[in-house]
């Protein structure tokens, strides 16, 4: 049989496309042509249901979510150093500590918030099935760490080392590279081939702790991740095979990881990457934290003080802290030695605690009752050392989105916003909330930056989706309203994420409705750059395309953020100096907004890498930021480039031979 098909006309093609759209939208039109019949046949065949194909298996689903969160934590975890000065009202700790502590708070807040917002996932829908997350208690403990003696090498571990997937490092200088045959090598100088760190490696990626990388080793299916210290050769395999439950704490911390107990996989333990030691929470607190229960963790990245609690769910799907049988309290406070600990009992008359966070310095614990589906919010402050409740607020009426709170950098106090009012609550006995600011419309604390005494408020406006941005200095009680409008959700999380220092983006709206963008300083609110100020900006340049990067102290400059503009330029934005834009870098030829894919600043601020989609593949480029005359170097094909986290405390090592270590 011979078939004859005439070239389709545009109307025919459009009608067929519309038919397909109708089908995928749920309509059931009768096929009128053989092509439409074919469509239904193909669609039906490919949509054949099976348990495997329809839904991601639960174990992979949960593991994947944890990976996403951990990767997100890495993005936010950069070393910070800043010299911005605001008048201190009380003695404060150093900037570096503040920055670190603030970042720690970010992870705590995000993780604790995650725990309280997971269940049902929908604060707005009405038909969501709610209940505890599914559990499968198949947790497998970490393998015994294979510690080897420290092997000295010529590498400078005080700098970030680029990671490549290549048979040879594509650049001069130190490099960690994984070749096609599975050898992972560390090259410290241009002349050597590199020390073989591990063989049979399938993948290598950055891990957010100094000198560690995350490996997939072996040929078996789904090998557990191995964490390797490239400076010492020590490694540990954290085997979470079959572990499918959400962690209240998705392992945001650098140094400590929450893992199943080595001797009792049904309960939780802590692994310390600094000492490569595994300690059961049972041994620390006297009772086991079962992996079948929800567990929430507040753990500053500094690890000075950590808090653990087990929890359950109420009928409105809020997670809440629940005392473990046999425990001497509700929340276990643990010091970084993983030996010193004590229990804190929640006040008996406090409503169910749905969140808790330890202050950046570890001295105070905030307990928060904020049921997801409820309309109340209550905060209490507890002395971490004694467990005594210092003060608490009244129970505010606040629908979701009407309540936000955060720690004040460098102070023993919190601020919180309810409705149109900003309050301060000090961590002293019987302290009363103090009104700091009252607005006409609702205010929300927006993403917190590690700046002493400075908080950022978004106040609703008549323009839907746009707010006024207010910079509030808690040391002077001065409010600075930034020109222009700020785009911030009116549905803020109760505990805003701590973000790296970065410019604030606002929109300037002209009388005729034309909008242009502007970047403002996060402390002063003054304009840093605007569309008009760009060298190659076109009149029609509208809202700019921004990429904010955590401030990193480059080799030659103060902290910077990097911005990609509509004009296909990268701006190095110095947050201390004027003019703010200290360097403008043209993107490589052929790279622009249309195919720009990803970018990464090395943690030491010395290198910047970008990728672009060219001819159906990712192409990666590397730029040496320490040399103002440097040009982009194409470093590899479709393989991503990463960096190790450098160790500012790590001494240099003497040269060593190409021996295999850490096997």
CB 600 within 8 A of CB 550: no
Residue 350 beta carbon to another protein: minimum distance, rounded to whole angstroms: 24
Instruction: Please report, as residue ranges, which positions from 148 to 177 form the binding site for another protein (by CB under 8 A).
Output: 165
438 scored as a contact of another protein (CB under 8 A): no
- Per CB under 8 A, the segment of 143-151, 258-266, 281-289, 494-502 that binds another protein is 494-502
Distance of alpha carbon 112 from alpha carbon 320, whole angstroms: 11
Contacts with another protein by CB under 8 A: the residue count is 88
Residue 388 beta carbon to another protein: minimum distance, rounded to whole angstroms: 30
Nearer to another protein, 145 or 496 (CB): 496
Nearer to another protein, 115 or 157 (CB): 115
Can you tell me which of 4, 27, 28, 52 binds another protein, judged by CB under 8 A? Answer: 52
Residue 489 beta carbon to another protein: minimum distance, rounded to whole angstroms: 3
440 scored as a contact of another protein (CB under 8 A): no
Can you tell me which of 82, 86, 100, 111 binds another protein, judged by CB under 8 A? Answer: 111
Distance of alpha carbon 475 from alpha carbon 83, whole angstroms: 17
Residue 280 beta carbon to another protein: minimum distance, rounded to whole angstroms: 28
Angle between helix axes 58-76 and 95-117 (nearest 10 degrees) is 160
Residue 538 beta carbon to another protein: minimum distance, rounded to whole angstroms: 19
Nearer to another protein, 343 or 548 (CB): 548
* Strand-pair category, 389-392 with 396-397: unpaired
Task: Using alpha carbons, select from 571, 646, 658, 653 the residue that is nearest to residue 606.
Answer: 646
- Per CB under 8 A, the segment of 294-302, 356-364, 487-495, 567-575 that binds another protein is 487-495
602 scored as a contact of another protein (CB under 8 A): no
Nearer to another protein, 106 or 161 (CB): 106
Can you tell me which of 114, 301, 346, 645 binds another protein, judged by CB under 8 A? Answer: 114
How far from each other are the two terminal CA atoms of the chain, in whole angstroms? 66
Distance of alpha carbon 236 from alpha carbon 36, whole angstroms: 56
Can you tell me which of 229, 310, 493, 582 binds another protein, judged by CB under 8 A? Answer: 493
CB 480 within 8 A of CB 470: yes
Nearer to another protein, 353 or 446 (CB): 446
Residue 220 beta carbon to another protein: minimum distance, rounded to whole angstroms: 10
Nearer to another protein, 62 or 255 (CB): 62
At 605, is the secondary structure helix, strand, or coil? coil
Q: What binding mask, one character per residue, do residues 66-85 give for another protein by CB under 8 A, x or -? A: -xxx-xx--x----------
50 scored as a contact of another protein (CB under 8 A): yes
Task: Using alpha carbons, select from 208, 213, 257 the residue that is nearest to residue 78.
Answer: 208
CB under 8 A, 24+ apart: contacts of 50-56: none
348 scored as a contact of another protein (CB under 8 A): no
Residue 663 beta carbon to another protein: minimum distance, rounded to whole angstroms: 24
Nearer to another protein, 2 or 430 (CB): 2
121 scored as a contact of another protein (CB under 8 A): yes
Q: Which helix (H) or strand (E) holds 106?
A: helix 95-117
47 scored as a contact of another protein (CB under 8 A): yes
Can you tell me which of 638, 651, 655, 663 binds another protein, judged by CB under 8 A? Answer: 638
CB 199 within 8 A of CB 184: yes
Return the structure tokens found at 355. Answer: 């969140």
64 scored as a contact of another protein (CB under 8 A): yes
Return the structure tokens found at 383. Answer: 């002395």
At 52, is the secondary structure helix, strand, or coil? helix
Residue 14 beta carbon to another protein: minimum distance, rounded to whole angstroms: 6
Can you tell me which of 29, 61, 478, 590 binds another protein, judged by CB under 8 A? Answer: 61
Distance of alpha carbon 197 from alpha carbon 228, whole angstroms: 9
Nearer to another protein, 113 or 530 (CB): 113
Residues 6+ apart with CB under 8 A from 192: 658
181 scored as a contact of another protein (CB under 8 A): no
Nearer to another protein, 195 or 636 (CB): 636
598 scored as a contact of another protein (CB under 8 A): yes
CB 620 within 8 A of CB 641: yes
Alpha carbon separation from 513 to 463, 529, 534, 544 (Å, rounded): 12, 21, 21, 16
Length of the chain measured in residues = 663
Can you tell me which of 4, 28, 30, 48 binds another protein, judged by CB under 8 A? Answer: 48
DSSP state of 267: B
313 scored as a contact of another protein (CB under 8 A): no
547 scored as a contact of another protein (CB under 8 A): yes
Distance of alpha carbon 522 from alpha carbon 130, whole angstroms: 40
54 scored as a contact of another protein (CB under 8 A): yes
At 225, is the secondary structure helix, strand, or coil? strand
Nearer to another protein, 502 or 528 (CB): 502
Return the structure tokens found at 159. Answer: 């700098």
CB 3 within 8 A of CB 20: no
20 scored as a contact of another protein (CB under 8 A): yes
Instruction: Please report, as residue ranges, which positions from 456 to 475 form the binding site for another protein (by CB under 8 A).
Output: 465
Q: What binding mask, one character per residue, do residues 517-546 give for another protein by CB under 8 A, x or -? A: --------------------------x-xx
Can you tell me which of 122, 156, 314, 557 binds another protein, judged by CB under 8 A? Answer: 122
- Per CB under 8 A, the segment of 112-120, 318-326, 364-372, 551-559 that binds another protein is 112-120
Instruction: Please report, as residue ranges, which positions from 618 to 637 form the binding site for another protein (by CB under 8 A).
Output: 618, 637
CB 109 within 8 A of CB 357: yes
Residues 6+ apart with CB under 8 A from 507: 466, 484, 485, 486, 487, 515, 516, 517, 518, 543
Can you tell me which of 83, 91, 221, 513 binds another protein, judged by CB under 8 A? Answer: 221
Task: Using alpha carbons, select from 572, 558, 499, 500 the residue that is nearest to residue 529.
Answer: 572
Instruction: Please report, as residue ranges, which positions from 363 to 422 form the binding site for another protein (by CB under 8 A).
Output: none
Residue 446 beta carbon to another protein: minimum distance, rounded to whole angstroms: 7
Radius of gyration of the chain (CA): 27
- Residue 234: phi and psi, rounded to 5, are -70, 145
Alpha-carbon torsion 610, 73, 424, 465, what sign? positive
CB 103 within 8 A of CB 109: no
Can you tell me which of 4, 10, 430, 649 binds another protein, judged by CB under 8 A? Answer: 10
39 scored as a contact of another protein (CB under 8 A): yes
Can you tell me which of 172, 277, 491, 535 binds another protein, judged by CB under 8 A? Answer: 491
Residues 6+ apart with CB under 8 A from 95: 80, 81, 82, 83
CB 368 within 8 A of CB 353: yes
Instruction: Please report, as residue ranges, which positions from 232 to 291 form the binding site for another protein (by CB under 8 A).
Output: none
Instruction: Please report, as residue ranges, which positions from 567 to 586 form the binding site for another protein (by CB under 8 A).
Output: none
* Strand-pair category, 268-272 with 596-601: unpaired
């Amino acid at each position: 049989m011979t078939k004859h098909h005439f070239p389709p006309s545009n109307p025919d093609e459009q009608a067929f496309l519309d038919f397909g759209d109708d089908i995928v939208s749920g309509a059931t039109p009768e096929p009128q042509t053989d092509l439409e019949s074919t469509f239904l046949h193909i669609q039906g065949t490919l949509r054949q249901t099976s348990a495997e194909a329809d839904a991601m298996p639960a174990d992979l689903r949960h593991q994947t979510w944890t990976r996403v969160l951990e990767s997100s934590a890495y993005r936010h975890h950069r070393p910070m150093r800043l010299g911005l000065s605001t008048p201190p009202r009380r003695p404060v700790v150093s900037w570096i500590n503040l920055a670190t502590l603030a970042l720690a708070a970010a992870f705590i807040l995000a993780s604790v918030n995650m725990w309280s917002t997971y269940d049902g996932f929908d604060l707005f829908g009405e038909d969501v099935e709610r209940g505890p997350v599914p559990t499968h208690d198949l947790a497998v403990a970490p393998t015994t760490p294979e510690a080897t003696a420290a092997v000295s090498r010529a590498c400078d571990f005080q700098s970030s080392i680029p990671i490549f997937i290549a048979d040879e490092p594509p650049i001069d200088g130190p490099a960690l590279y994984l070749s096609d045959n599975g050898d992972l090598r560390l090259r410290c100088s241009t002349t050597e081939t590199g020390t073989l760190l591990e063989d049979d490696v399938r993948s290598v990626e950055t891990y957010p702790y100094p000198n560690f990388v995350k490996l997939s080793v072996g040929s078996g299916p789904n090998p557990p991740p191995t964490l390797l210290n490239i400076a010492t050769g020590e490694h540990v395999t954290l085997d979470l095979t079959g572990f499918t439950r959400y962690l209240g704490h998705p392992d945001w911390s650098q140094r400590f990881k929450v893992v199943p107990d080595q001797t009792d996989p049904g309960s939780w333990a802590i692994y310390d990457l600094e000492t490569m030691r595994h300690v059961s929470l049972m041994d620390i607190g006297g009772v086991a934290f079962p992996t079948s229960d929800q567990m929430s963790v507040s753990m500053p990245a500094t690890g000075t003080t950590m808090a653990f609690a087990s929890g359950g769910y109420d009928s409105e799907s809020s997670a809440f802290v629940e005392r473990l049988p046999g425990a001497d309290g509700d929340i276990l406070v643990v010091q970084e030695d993983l030996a010193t600990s004590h229990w804190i009992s929640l006040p008996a008359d406090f409503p169910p605690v749905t969140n808790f966070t330890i202050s950046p310095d570890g001295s105070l614990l905030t307990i928060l009752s904020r049921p997801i589906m409820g309309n109340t919010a209550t905060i209490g402050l507890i002395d971490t050392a004694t467990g005594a409740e210092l003060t608490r607020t009244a129970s505010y009426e606040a629908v979701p989105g009407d309540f936000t709170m955060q720690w004040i950098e460098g102070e023993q106090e919190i601020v919180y916003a309810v409705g149109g009012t900003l309050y301060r609550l000090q961590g002293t006995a019987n302290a009363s909330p103090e009104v700091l600011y009252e607005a006409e419309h609702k205010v929300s604390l927006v993403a917190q930056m590690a700046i002493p005494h400075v908080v950022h408020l978004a106040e609703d406006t008549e323009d839907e989706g746009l707010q006024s941005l207010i910079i509030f200095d808690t040391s002077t009680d001065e409010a600075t309203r930034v020109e222009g409008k700020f785009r911030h959700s009116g549905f803020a999380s109760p505990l805003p994420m701590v973000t790296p220092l970065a410019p604030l983006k606002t929109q300037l709206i002209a009388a005729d409705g034309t909008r242009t963008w502007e970047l403002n300083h996060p402390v002063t609110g003054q304009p840093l750059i605007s569309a008009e100020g760009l060298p190659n900006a076109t009149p029609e340049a509208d809202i700019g395309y921004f990429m904010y990067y955590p401030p990193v102290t480059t080799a030659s400059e103060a902290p910077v953020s990097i911005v990609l503009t509509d004009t296909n330029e990268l701006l190095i934005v110095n947050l201390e100096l004027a003019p703010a834009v200290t360097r403008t870098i043209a993107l490589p030829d052929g790279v622009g907004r249309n195919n720009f894919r990803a970018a990464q600043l090395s943690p030491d601020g010395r290198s910047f890498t970008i990728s672009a989609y060219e001819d159906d593949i990712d192409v990666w480029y590397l730029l040496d930021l320490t040399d103002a005359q440097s040009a982009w170097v194409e470093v590899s094909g479709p393989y991503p480039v990463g960096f190790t986290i450098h160790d500012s405390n790590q001494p240099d090592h003497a040269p060593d031979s190409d021996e295999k270590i850490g096997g």
